[in-house]
Amino acid sequence: MEEHLREIATLARIRAYAPYSRFLVGAALLSVSGRVFAGCNVENVSFGLTMCAERVCVGSALQEGEKDFQTITIVSDSEEPIMPCGACRQVLAEFSPRMNIISWTLSGTKKEVTLATLLPMPRQGILG
């Protein structure tokens, strides 16, 4: 499954709309039920409107009726695997504060952490 998620995120990355930063990110979100939702970053000329790949995945999953997540896999072309930004950590924590995060560089370096490590003492959402 780990390799499958990596592949899906790698393919999603190619579809990133990132003409401003030129930093393409792909992500694949695995639900507890076993379904996979892909996402890529979507930038805007009004920079603050940019959506990270992670949050695009969450939107895709929600509209398909899934909101319990086990893992999100991220792929980017960076020296070190990237970690989700603060906004994405909070959005993921709304649904699945105990989920895992696996990030890959294009060249195959992997970093794995829990969301709880990245966002300790989260503001608790309505789902608990």
Measured on CA atoms in the order 121, 79, 22, 16, is the torsion positive or negative? negative
Instruction: Out of 38, 43, 92, 104, name the contact with ligand THU by CB under 6 A.
Output: 43
28 binds ligand THU (CB under 6 A): no
**CB burial string 24-34: b at 16+ within 10 A, e below:** bbbbbbbbeee
23 binds ligand THU (CB under 6 A): yes
Q: How far is the CB of 67 from ligand THU (least distance, A)?
A: 20
> Which range binds ligand THU by CB under 6 A, 2-10, 52-60, 64-72, 104-112?
52-60
Query: What single-letter DSSP state applies at residue 48?
Result: G
Q: How many CB atoms lie within 10 A of CB 10?
A: 16
Is 112 catalytic? The answer is no
Q: How far is the CB of 18 from ligand THU (least distance, A)?
A: 5
Which positions are annotated as active-site residues? 54
